[in-house]
Chains A and B, each alone.
Chain A
Amino acid sequence: MIQLININKRYRTSAGTKVVLNNVSAEFPKGKSVGILGLNGSGKSTLIRIIGDAEPPNSGRVISDGKISWPLGYTGGFQSNLTARENARFVARIYGANTQYIEEFTREFAELGEYFDVPLRAYSAGMRSRFAFSVSLACDFDYYLVDEALETGDARYREKFRLAFQERSASASVILVSHNEQTIRRNCDMAAILHDGNLDVYDDLKEALKFYSYLQTRKVA
């Protein structure tokens, strides 16, 4: 279970202070895929970075009973002038994991072929996300934080990841952030909606999506 307790986050911008998270408290149960929906600019990435401890909130706490991954996204954490192998080794080292195992697992699972020894800057977006997912799967987290990246890559590979996560769903859960309700519908068991600094958690996916489409129409109007 991941618990958010009274989390506040503000940004100071030239246009004044923007409240991203206004005293947010929530609970995400273990073994369920949670989708976090929010319109562009609602602070989804900030929220997931706070859950992953990549950024401190102004106040409040995150409590969890397991290992949380770093926020998986397009850029997260990788040096583009190093190869996949070198990046995988780096991740293994900072997590204190077996370097050889992480390297082997990533090489096999990412299916990058000879690109495994080519600097990441030569990769397509799909190859990058394949690599990022494979390294994180190798690290065996209890919670995977995913920032939009599922939609890149081809359909067969997306399916491979879905299965890999499903296989682990007894022990691991995914928290997936997106502005796209299709993504959430396909991949999640429940959803939370981030709007105006509040996070509403719905056990029922349909209800969440209904509220989200209302938010979208409100924005257009």
Chain B
Amino acid sequence: MADIDVSSNRKILTSDVLDAISTQVRVIHALILRETKTRYGQHKLGFLWAVLEPIIMVALFVAIFAGMRNDNPGGMPLVPFMLIGIVPFALFRDVMNQLQGAIATNKTLFAFPQVTTFDVILARGLLEILITLGVFGFLLAMAHLAGFTINVQRPLEVLAGCGLMSMLGLGLGFMFASITPILPSLRQLTSAFLGRPLFLSSGLFFTADSIPSEIRQYLLYNPIMHILELIRGAFFYEFETAHGSWHYAIAWSVGALAAGLVTHQALRKKAIVGL
């Protein structure tokens, strides 16, 4: 008798787990479609803006830096150099920013029992990553058509770097998404004290080699700086990084993701009540 009980229990368990997984996949799929509609559905220019924004940024910073110096940073041509700083960085910053408000803006959805805060945050993160990668590919194709040499040395490493950048964004995003409903002032703090300083100090506009070593040793605590160096080293034939470390970058990305998921797990109930 006991044996039969155990086996029937196990059967229920397996099908329950499969059920839960298929529900979760369904929900995340539905959320991504819905999020795409809400973001790009009403404004026809929505998707155009996603492409235009990085183009304007690249143009702006190319203009500024071309005026300031006449050599190419680390031997890399200036336009692709800027492009391959600004767009990968967006993987981190935009994912983080988008996730921060994920729980608050979707609160009516939690009336549906199968929709969890985890699903809502992850769906939004995946959509942002997909859009940014799509924009990245599109801009590279545009740059190629415009006559720039786009010849990727180690494409898989470029993708790996983008993956690490996304993980950093997801990790901090999960963390801030869970804390912000409880502590709303965090929203201003992250953009003023995290987004902007990192934008300026992560090497979007310079290589690690180009700055004095006394300053560089501090800047190299920043994992984003490592990842950008690694991505550029993998992308350009003209450039190999002497400072970017895969180990350091992976440790940070995995650590950030783990910390974000743990924070979310600990606070998710409070976060819903805090709305």
- Are B108 and A55 within 8 A (Cβ)? no
Given known pairs A70-B112, A77-B108, the reply for A93 and B30 (CB within 8 Å) is yes
What is the CB-to-nearest-CB distance from B2 to chain A, in angstroms, rounded to a whole number?
Answer: 25
- The answer to whether the Cβ of B216 comes within 8 Å of any Cβ in the partner chain is no
What is the CB-to-nearest-CB distance from A48 to chain B, in angstroms, rounded to a whole number?
Answer: 10
- The answer to whether the Cβ of B27 comes within 8 Å of any Cβ in the partner chain is yes
Q: Which residues of A contact B22 (CB under 8 A)?
A: 96
**Binary interface profile of B, 146-166, with partner A (CB < 8 Å = 1, else 0)?**
000000000000000000000
**Binary interface profile of B, 32-50, with partner A (CB < 8 Å = 1, else 0)?**
0110011001100000000
- Are A77 and B111 within 8 A (Cβ)? yes
Docked pose: A119 CA to B273 CA in angstroms: 28
Within 8 A of B (CB), among A52-103: 52-56, 70-71, 73, 75-79, 81-82, 86, 89-91, 93-96
- Are B33 and A93 within 8 A (Cβ)? yes
- Are B108 and A90 within 8 A (Cβ)? no
Interface size on A, residues (CB 8 A): 26
Closest B residue to A56 using CB positions = B269
Choose from B26, B269, B273 the contact partner of A94 (Cβ within 8 Å): B26
- The answer to whether the Cβ of B272 comes within 8 Å of any Cβ in the partner chain is yes
Q: Which residues of A contact B67 (CB under 8 A)?
A: none
- Are B37 and A86 within 8 A (Cβ)? yes
Name the prevailing secondary structure of the A interface residues: loop
Q: Which residues of B contact A81 (CB under 8 A)?
A: 38, 41-42
- Are A54 and B110 within 8 A (Cβ)? yes
- The answer to whether the Cβ of B115 comes within 8 Å of any Cβ in the partner chain is yes
Choose from B34, B272, B273 the contact partner of A86 (Cβ within 8 Å): B34
Name the prevailing secondary structure of the B interface residues: helix
Q: Which residues of A contact B113 (CB under 8 A)?
A: 52-54, 70
Range of interface residues on B (Cβ < 8 Å): 20 to 34
Q: Which residues of A contact B23 (CB under 8 A)?
A: 96
Q: Which residues of B contact A56 (CB under 8 A)?
A: 269
Choose from A11, A53, A70, A79 the contact partner of B38 (Cβ within 8 Å): A79
Choose from B34, B269, B272 the contact partner of A82 (Cβ within 8 Å): B34
- Are B26 and A79 within 8 A (Cβ)? no
Docked pose: A179 CA to B144 CA in angstroms: 67
Q: Which residues of A contact B42 (CB under 8 A)?
A: 81, 119
What is the CB-to-nearest-CB distance from A114 to chain B, in angstroms, rounded to a whole number?
Answer: 17
Most buried by A among B37, B41, B115: B37
Within 8 A of A (CB), among B111-147: 111-115
- Are B111 and A71 within 8 A (Cβ)? yes
Q: Which residues of B contact A91 (CB under 8 A)?
A: 112
- The answer to whether the Cβ of B10 comes within 8 Å of any Cβ in the partner chain is no
Docked pose: A94 CA to B112 CA in angstroms: 9
- Are B108 and A94 within 8 A (Cβ)? no
Docked pose: A214 CA to B117 CA in angstroms: 42
Q: Which residues of B contact A11 (CB under 8 A)?
A: 273
- Are B41 and A94 within 8 A (Cβ)? no
The chain B residues found within 8 Å of chain A, CB to CB, are 22-23, 26-27, 29-30, 33-34, 37-38, 41-42, 108-115, 269, 272-273
The chain A residues found within 8 Å of chain B, CB to CB, are 11, 49, 52-56, 70-71, 73, 75-79, 81-82, 86, 89-91, 93-96, 119
